Amino acid sequence: MLQVSVLKEQTDRVLAGLTKRNFPNAEAEVQRVLELDQRRRQLQTEHDSAQAEANKLAQQIGALMKSGDKAGAEELKSRTAALKQQTKTAAEELTGVEKELQDALYRIPNVPHASVPAGRSADDNEVVREVGNKPELPGEALPHWDLIKKLDIIDFELGNKITGAGFPVYKGQGARLQRALINFFLDEAMAAGYTEMQPPILINEASGYGTGQLPDKEGQMYHATADDLYLIPTAEVPITNLYRDEIIATERLPVRNAGYTPCFRREAGSWGAHVRGLNRLHQFDKVEIVEIDLPERSYQTLERMLGHIEGLLQKLELPYRVLRLCGGDMGFTSALTYDLEVWSAAQQRWLEVSSCSNFETYQANRLKLRYRDENNKTQLLHTLNGSALALPRIVAALLENNQQADGTIRLPEVLHRYCGFAQLG
């Protein structure tokens, strides 16, 4: 979440950024935070003043009792009792105001970086670059949902039988391809200097609030209500929360982690052709890269992370493009997001396979994730993450783009040693 000091000292910049996001009632929401903060400070002063006066009177009472002035002591005790009640009342109201302030801050999204273009939807995103040639397919080319049936490598009906729609079963070469991609992505991350983590896939409420999934995306997460735990939508959440409430020594920075997990998303309200087959699932596999770095170099870090993801797509021989998301299409917590999309030849459209984002201090403020500056004062760090990569649409593109006239699917050379075969079918 945004710091109150930023809202107070950089109000015009914040409002301009929220306007770029098309955030409704921005001025009223920011003003509400500032009013609550002022009331909080006032109550804190009243509480502390009453507490200090009560402590001072307690010392005076002790002196009067020693001198034998019981009448004077009793008079002061009466004043002390009134001060204690005043302190209690202020403390109770302070607790309520602090809760209101926290909730108000949770409702305000991150301020976009200056380079983020204005816009309302995906149609307004900026194409940064397009890499690779779109393949020419044979006339009888099929979309991936028909290919997986023909090859018998992924079974949606079985998944629906044991769980429900959006939970496919991977079989034979399909299962081996999944494992191959996961291992390839992890090996590439390790070679790039990331430390592999294997985090839990269930998180508590504090972790959800720490990275901003709660309260913003509560309806999109699966909730195990008996234990009040949530199934993760991405490995970003548990990996970033490893560092909650920590002060990280600057010599340890940047912190660079990668992790494979299954991911779970309810995707409520999704329907239509764009969610067919592997295009959108409730459970899918993904390798995530997460970095924590100093504010002054976090945008160089973001570009390095983007380069790593592009390198994976190039090795997979997939044509792709990089988008800089506009204000209206960005995630709630992000300051700048690049989306990477691969070309789906049979569907004749681009499929998002990665988002790479800098959250600046937005998550770190919630997480209390800090470092000490040259004056030994604690400052907030910047957090970043990227999908490197999400598997379903990568598989869809590999199947569609590489189908051959004889009905087989050619796999890129980099996957041969991971799969143990060079083609599907």
**pLDDT tens for each residue of 206-226:** 999 999 999 988 889 999 999
265 is in an annotated binding site: yes
Proportion of the chain in helix, strand, coil states, percent, rounded to 5: 45, 20, 35
Q: Which two tokens stand for residue 74?
A: 């009793």
Q: Is the pLDDT of residue 274 over 70?
A: no
**pLDDT tens for each residue of 7-18:** 999 999 999 999
353 is in an annotated binding site: yes
**pLDDT tens for each residue of 263-273:** 999 975 555 55
* Same domain as 401, residue 302: yes
8 A C-beta contact, residue 259 and residue 235: yes
Stretch 156-179: mean pLDDT: 97
* Same domain as 317, residue 182: yes
Q: How far apart are CA 338 and CA 138, in angstroms?
A: 32
Q: Which two tokens stand for residue 195?
A: 């430390």
Burial letters 5-29, b for 16+ CB under 10 A, else e:
eebeeeeeebbebbebbebeebeeb
* Same domain as 229, residue 131: yes
In the residue annotation, 372 being an active-site residue is answered as no
Q: Which of 256, 280, 324, 366 is catalytic?
A: 280
User: What average pLDDT is seen over the chain?
Assistant: 94
Q: Is the pLDDT of residue 82 over 90?
A: no
Indicate the number of domains in the chain.
Answer: 2
Considering the domain boundaries, does residue 117 fall inside one? no
Stretch 328-353: mean pLDDT: 97
29 is in an annotated binding site: no
In the residue annotation, 176 being an active-site residue is answered as no
Residue 198 belongs to domain spanning:
122-424
- For residue 139, what are the CA distances in angstroms to 142, 403, 406? 9, 11, 12
75 is in an annotated binding site: no
Q: Using only the alpha carbons of the chain, give its radius of gyration.
A: 27
8 A C-beta contact, residue 237 and residue 231: no
Q: Which of 21, 40, 370, 393 is catalytic?
A: 393
| Percent of the chain residues topping a pLDDT of 90 | 84
Q: Which of 207, 334, 344, 355 is catalytic?
A: 355
- For residue 188, what are the CA distances in angstroms to 17, 191, 264, 353, 389? 36, 5, 24, 17, 11
In the residue annotation, 352 being an active-site residue is answered as yes
Q: What is the pLDDT of residue 129?
A: 98
* Same domain as 310, residue 368: yes
**pLDDT tens for each residue of 113-144:** 999 999 999 999 999 999 999 999 888 889 99
8 A C-beta contact, residue 97 and residue 39: yes
Per-residue confidence band for 79, with pLDDT thresholds at 50, 70 and 90: confident
Q: What is the pLDDT of residue 268?
A: 58
Stretch 365-374: mean pLDDT: 97
8 A C-beta contact, residue 196 and residue 186: yes
Considering the domain boundaries, does residue 37 fall inside one? yes
In the residue annotation, 355 being an active-site residue is answered as yes
* Same domain as 90, residue 62: yes
Question: Could you check whether the bond before residue 302 is cis, i.e. omega within 30 degrees of 0?
Answer: no
Q: What is the pLDDT of residue 139?
A: 80
CATH number at residue 88: 1.10.287.40
Give the three-class secondary structure for 296: helix
355 is in an annotated binding site: yes
CATH number at residue 420: 3.30.930.10
Residues recorded for the chain: 425
Q: Is the pLDDT of residue 417 over 80?
A: yes
Q: Is the pLDDT of residue 205 over 70?
A: yes
Q: Is the pLDDT of residue 22 over 90?
A: yes
Considering the domain boundaries, does residue 113 fall inside one? no
Considering the domain boundaries, does residue 114 fall inside one? no
DSSP of 154-221:
EEHHHHHHHT-TT--EE-THHHHHHHHHHHHHHHHHHHTTPEE----SEE-HHHHHHHT-TTTTGGGS
Q: What is the pLDDT of residue 81?
A: 81
* Same domain as 93, residue 175: no
Q: What is the pLDDT of residue 87?
A: 87
Stretch 281-286: mean pLDDT: 97
Q: Which of 21, 265, 324, 366 is catalytic?
A: 265
